[in-house]
């Protein structure tokens, strides 16, 4: 995705303190005040080169009596900020500066600077990610109930979960061309549709069948599963016989497309889970008594895990590594009609999975588990 979005999630949180900073600045001597927020590109003495999310670089001169504050990620009130020193500002950190325009274009004489350390942001993101892993769940939306604010999702084949939302639930929506949490925008319950991909974080009920959501993030994407029928390296496209839609689709591979290969052992493990899930109750008992029950449970845990994390650690592949008749599973942009779609995530080495699920219903359910990046993770790019 565009580099300007890389720090979007942090920027949104950081900007929450701007109003407080501006209120403080209003009490300062009168003049034409301006403010800038961005990433520190370089610092020499009291001169900082700041790269905003949008626009040209800004040359910032910190006044000798400038107020320097350090804010922790998640804090939204300058009263909780700590006084810091100039030597704490390093390239890669985020900085909010406030002051008057300098003599040259794109320059600023700052009387206040609010710092958010890159290391603090990274630590905060890891804490958030662990909490999403511990208290989060994801799947495909199968039903909506506006009357009581509940959403039913299919977590994996044979497993569902009810997401309970309320007035305090925060909603986000993935961008149509990205599964990165950092590209998501504020949303609402009524923007979610049956068939959407969804992740939620909150408290589980004692029986594990419901989750009371503090946060919900959803998006509309297209799942493709099938075999490659054509490859055009010059156009960076592949043609896939999609068994889900029962038609051929052209898929564009972009620099932002995540392409991974599933090792045979892991593919066989997932395929075993899909086969076991289709067994009758009698067959399940026979399998368990023969000593394969534990293997199935392990496979189930593997299939129910956060596949986005698993896939981010798999070997990367490129277009030259793909061949005609290879089996692939793809998450793409929705597309319209017969138009070309862009791959967001492509997974090769999935022949055992498609064989275990001839109509690809099981494969489609698995796609729901690994096509969304965890919040604070920002995707595996």
Q: Summarize pLDDT for 66-82 with one digit per residue, the tens.
A: 999 998 877 767 777 88
Q: What whole-number distance in Å separates Cα of residue 57 and Cα of residue 51?
A: 5
Mean pLDDT (whole number) for 120-135 = 82
Are 35 and 105 found together in one domain? yes
Q: What whole-number distance in Å separates Cα of residue 118 and Cα of residue 306?
A: 26
What confidence tier does 333 reach under pLDDT thresholds 50, 70, 90? confident
Q: What whole-number distance in Å separates Cα of residue 154 and Cα of residue 245?
A: 19
Are 112 and 8 found together in one domain? yes
pLDDT for residue 356 is more than 90: no
Are 45 and 81 found together in one domain? yes
Q: Which of 323, 225, 305, 317 is nearest to 266 (CA)?
A: 305
What confidence tier does 286 reach under pLDDT thresholds 50, 70, 90? very low
**Is there a domain that residue 56 lies in?**
yes
Structure tokens at 106: 């794109």
**Is there a domain that residue 110 lies in?**
yes
Paired with 224 in beta bridges are: 330
* Ramachandran angles phi, psi of 267, nearest 5°: -65, -40
Q: What whole-number distance in Å separates Cα of residue 267 and Cα of residue 90?
A: 44
**Is there a domain that residue 126 lies in?**
no
Q: Which of 32, 100, 99 is nearest to 67 (CA)?
A: 99
Residue that terminates a domain, selected from 86, 116, 146: 116
pLDDT for residue 255 is more than 90: no
Mean pLDDT (whole number) for 159-175 = 92
Residues 245/307/160/341 CA torsion (nearest 10 deg):
-20
Mean pLDDT: which of 50-59, 89-98, 127-136, 358-367 is highest?
89-98
Residue that terminates a domain, selected from 219, 237, 268: 219
Are 215 and 226 found together in one domain? no
pLDDT digits over 228-249, tens only? Answer: 999 999 999 999 998 878 889 9
Mean pLDDT of the chain: 78
Are 233 and 320 found together in one domain? yes
pLDDT for residue 369 is more than 80: no
Angle at CA 369, nearest 5°, toward 367 and 372? 95
Task: Please tell me the total count of domains within the chain.
Answer: 3
Are 270 and 245 found together in one domain? yes
Are 238 and 286 found together in one domain? yes
pTM of the model: 0.59
84-93, 298-307, 329-338: least confident range: 298-307
Structure tokens at 324: 């005609």
The more confident residue out of 249 and 175 is 249
**Is there a domain that residue 127 lies in?**
no
pLDDT digits over 7-44, tens only? Answer: 444 444 444 444 444 444 444 444 578 889 999 999 99
Are 69 and 153 found together in one domain? no
pLDDT for residue 63 is more than 90: yes
Are 325 and 238 found together in one domain? yes
Residues 299/303/305/308 CA torsion (nearest 10 deg):
140
192-206, 246-260, 293-307: least confident range: 293-307
CATH of the domain at 357: 2.40.50.320
Domain range for residue 314? Answer: 222-370
pLDDT of residue 133: 78
Q: Which of 94, 110, 86 is nearest to 34 (CA)?
A: 110
Mean pLDDT (whole number) for 111-119 = 91
Q: What whole-number distance in Å separates Cα of residue 262 and Cα of residue 244?
A: 20
Mean pLDDT (whole number) for 340-357 = 87
Are 278 and 353 found together in one domain? yes
pLDDT for residue 253 is more than 60: yes
Are 167 and 305 found together in one domain? no
Q: What whole-number distance in Å separates Cα of residue 101 and Cα of residue 370?
A: 48
What confidence tier does 376 reach under pLDDT thresholds 50, 70, 90? low
* Nearby residues of 256 by Cβ (< 8 Å), 6 or more positions away: 1, 178, 344, 381
Q: Is 52 helix (H, G, I), strand (E, B) or coil?
A: strand
Are 354 and 237 found together in one domain? yes
Residue that terminates a domain, selected from 170, 204, 219: 219
CATH of the domain at 184: 2.40.50.140
pLDDT of residue 169: 96
């Amino acid at each position: 995705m565009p580099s300007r979005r890389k720090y979007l999630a942090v920027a949104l949180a950081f900007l929450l303190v701007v109003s407080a900073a501006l209120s403080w600045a209003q009490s300062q001597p009168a003049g034409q005040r301006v403010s800038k927020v961005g990433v520190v590109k370089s610092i020499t003495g009291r001169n900082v080169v700041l790269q905003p999310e949008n626009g040209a670089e800004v040359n910032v001169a910190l006044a000798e009596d400038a107020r320097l504050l350090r804010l922790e990620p998640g804090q939204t009130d300058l009263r909780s900020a700590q006084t810091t020193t100039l030597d704490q500002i390093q390239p890669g950190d985020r900085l909010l500066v406030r002051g008057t325009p300098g003599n040259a274009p794109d320059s600023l004489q700052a009387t206040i600077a609010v710092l958010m350390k890159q290391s603090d942001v990274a630590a905060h993101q890891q804490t958030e990610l662990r909490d999403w892993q511990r208290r989060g769940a994801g799947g495909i939306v199968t039903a909506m109930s506006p009357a009581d604010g509940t959403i039913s999702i299919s977590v994996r084949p044979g497993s569902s979960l009810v997401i309970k939302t309320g007035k305090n639930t925060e909603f986000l929506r993935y961008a149509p061309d990205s599964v990165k949490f950092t590209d998501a925008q504020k949303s609402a319950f009524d923007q979610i549709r049956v068939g959407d991909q969804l992740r939620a974080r909150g408290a589980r009920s004692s029986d594990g069948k419901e989750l009371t959501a503090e946060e919900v993030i959803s998006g509309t994407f297209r799942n493709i599963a099938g075999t490659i029928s054509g490859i055009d390296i010059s156009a960076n496209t592949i043609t896939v016989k999609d068994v889900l839609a029962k038609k051929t689709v052209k898929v564009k591979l972009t620099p932002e497309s995540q392409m991974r290969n599933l090792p045979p052992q892991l593919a066989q493990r997932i395929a075993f889970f899909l086969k076991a899930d289709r067994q009758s109750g009698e067959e399940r008992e026979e399998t368990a008594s023969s000593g394969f029950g534990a293997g199935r449970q392990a496979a189930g845990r593997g299939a129910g895990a956060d596949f986005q994390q698993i896939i981010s650690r798999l070997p990367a592949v490129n277009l030259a590594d793909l061949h005609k008749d290879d089996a692939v599973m793809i998450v793409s942009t929705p597309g319209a009609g017969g138009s070309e779609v862009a791959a967001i995530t492509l997974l090769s080495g999935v022949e055992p999975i498609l064989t275990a699920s001839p109509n690809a219903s099981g494969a489609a359910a698995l796609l729901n588990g690994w096509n969304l990046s965890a919040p604070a993770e920002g995707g595996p790019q």
